[in-house]
Structure 1
Amino acid sequence: MYDFGSIVGHEQIIEHLQSAIKMGKVSHAYIINGEKGMGKKTIAYTFAKTLQCGEAATNSCNTCKSCLQVESGNHPDVISVTHEKLSIGVDDIRVQVNGDIAIKPYSGPYKIYIIDDADKMTEQAQNALLKTIEEPPAYAIIILLTTNSSKLLPTILSRCVMLNLKPVSSDAIKENLMKEYNVPDYMASMSATFSQGILGRAIRYASSEEFTQSKEEVLHLLKYIDDMELYEIMEAIKKLSTHKLEINDYLDLMILWYRDILMFKVTKNPNLLLFKEEYKFISEQARKKDYEGIENIIIAMNKAKIRLNANVNFDTVMELMLLTLKEN
């Protein structure tokens, strides 16, 4: 359910949005920026639902016709801008936003456009949207959801209220998993720890029967990676990619491993490790590797994630990453 009271974390952003509603100072354009799984859509639709609610309060009533329409995805004045191609083109914006926004709301006080993957807009599409953001009708609100707001034009950034989502505490995520999803204590704790403050990721981990097994496979690879040949590592990663979790999840686990190595190299404190039970292997790798090498590996893995998200060939991406890994 889209409800401010059920959102985990993001208290400052919720307070900002509710305050804007209460004081009648709602902006015509917002950017909600954060990693996948942080709750951008939930916040956007909760905000839209509250604005359209017949009770006109700082939280939705969840019972009026408007609230029920938003929940079912059928509210005529809450429009989800879609795209079929990898990028959002100028025609997508012209047809779904610019060509529609002049029509007054059918039933609600506002007409709200939610553009997911807004950082995938082409420059032409952004320029087309900019004209609408600069001179919107009084009833119009545009909400852009991004994982990388720096890809938006400075002119768009300057005309929107920026809301950057921050990681949620592990304790809050664990509590939510146990309360809302009936996840056992140990699994909730592990999923929360490795989610890095991203609730959606924690839910995915907790609901995957393969997560524990896959985590062990990743750990086996990382513990013995220095003694493996390049083709052996490649085969191991290909095997991982056939499981239910996304390849980015495995790369995240690998990045956390090397961050643990870096953390231990700096602090020598095993209590700060995520992979505490693997202290023996982490301390040994920390002793062998230098700071620059570890940082190069983490950078290479983050680059691999970016390339995979841009649909670069899987084998090519992995080979480039593994070469850096073996070199360091």
Structure 2
Amino acid sequence: MKLYSKECIERPVSAMAKSGRFVHSYIITGEKGTGKKVAAKYIAMQLLCDNHNACGQCRQCRRVLNGQHPDFITVEKSGRIYTINDVRTKVVDDSYTAPNDCERKVYFLPDCEGWMDAAQDALLKITEDPPDTAYFIFTAVNKNSFLPTLISRSMTLEVPEATRENCAQALRDTGKYTEEQISEAVGSFGGNIGRCMDFLDGDADLKKSADAVKKAVEAMITGDEYSLAVTLNSAASSREEMRSVLEMLSRVVRDAAAARYGSKTFLGCSAGGAMRMSERISSGRLIAMYDAICEASYRCTRNCNAQVAAAVLSGKLCR
């Protein structure tokens, strides 16, 4: 199984596989599209592989990759979040039953954002003193979604973005995209392989984000605060969408600042916009813009109202 720029996941997990001594509970964090689910499958393959090395070729590994392994159990939510009943009946009670086909079984709880403390409390005993055969994998954008007591019982692994080169190679390896498409996707979303694939496969929300960034860049160049506010507000329907737009916008501003010093390398989704910015806006002002965008993006991760963040940022960027 190919892990692109995921050495921080591969090294510790493969070391455990070689020793035969695995941690029973894992918390995997990272932005959407960085590969949390891929990392979870890699851990499951290490635990269930016939050859004990996540070979990707044996019957067990193929079933994990295809989502058909009876001992790699993706726990479904009853509603929007995991409830106490979900945890007790689908994880805790079931974990004491024997595996179906292997010596171990793995419970996978993806996207744990927003679940109640009581649901996590129900997991504390089973993660502290688990059955020998039971293993648990949780994912979320960041560790703030988990209680300190659950974190203390788990190995925490943060999934980084791939390098731009590895991201481009991952897209090539699918055999689905042209070099022009790959360049556009990586230019818009950097090393986020999942977002690049979603963009190339026609994800309407991501295309909307890319269009919003290009409009925002034009408004920043002309100093049109009203147009910028309208554009950013349209992206503020959710904090996740707002973060996506701000992340892409920060790359364009960074490109513009670098171009002021002669750089011809563009990492963002609007090379032309970055060049025009570099010609019209001073280096100091570009750095201040970049800092303001990063601050707004951070606030969106801390439960700040996205529309308020958009309004405040518009004023800062068009001073």
Is 1:145–2:134 an aligned residue pair? Answer: no
Label 1:291 to 1:138 Cα distance change in 2 as closer, same or farther (>3 A). Answer: same
1:72 CA displacement: 4.2
1:26 to 2:22 alignment: yes
Q: State whether structure 2 residue 245 is matched by structure 1 residue 250.
A: yes
CA distance in 2, matches of 1:142, 1:317: 36
Shift of 1:159: 2.0
Moved over 6 A (4+): 209-214, 238-242
SS at match of 1:130: helix
Which residue number corresponds to residue 296 of structure 1? Answer: 292
Q: Identify if the C-alpha distance between structure 1 residues 293 and 249 changes in structure 2 by more than 3 Å, giving closer, same or farther.
A: closer
The more displaced of 212-221 and 177-186 is: 212-221
Residue of structure 2 aligned with 1:38, choices 18, 34, 37: 34
TM-fit CA distance, 1:140: 1.1
1:57 aligns with 2:52: yes
Distance 1:146 1:215 in 2: 24
Deviation at 1:306, TM superposition (A): 5.9
Counterpart position of 1:164 = 158
Give ranges in structure 2 of 5+ residues lacking alignment: none
Check conservation: 1:304, 1:318, Cα contact below 8 A.
no
* Shift in CA distance, 126/324, structure 1 to aligned 2, threshold 3 Å: farther
Q: Say how many residue pairs are matched.
A: 312
Matched, 1:322 2:281: no
State how far apart, in whole Å, the 1-side matches of 2:23 and 2:198 are: 33
Aligned counterpart for 1:205 among listed residues 199, 205, 210? 199
Amino acid at match of 2:4: V
Q: Within the alignment, does 1:70 sit opposite 2:87 as a pair?
A: no
Q: Is the 8 A contact 1:261 1:286 kept in 2?
A: no
SS of structure 2 residue aligned to 1:177: helix
Matches within 5 A, 1:1-328: 4=1, 6-53=2-49, 55-60=50-55, 62-64=57-59, 66-208=60-202, 215=210, 218-225=213-220, 226-230=222-226, 232-237=227-232, 248-261=243-256, 268-271=261-264, 273-275=266-268, 276-277=271-272, 278-287=274-283, 289=285, 291-292=287-288, 294-304=290-300, 307=303, 318-326=310-318, 328=319
RMSD value, Cα: 3.3
Conserved? CA contact 1:301–1:321, under 8 Å: no
1:138-170 deviation per Cα after TM superposition (whole angstroms, max 9, x unaligned): 111111112101332222222212222222111
* SS of alignment partner, residue 194 of structure 1: helix
Provide TM-score, normalisation by structure 2: 0.81
* Preserved contact between residue 300 and residue 324 of structure 1 (Cα < 8 Å): no
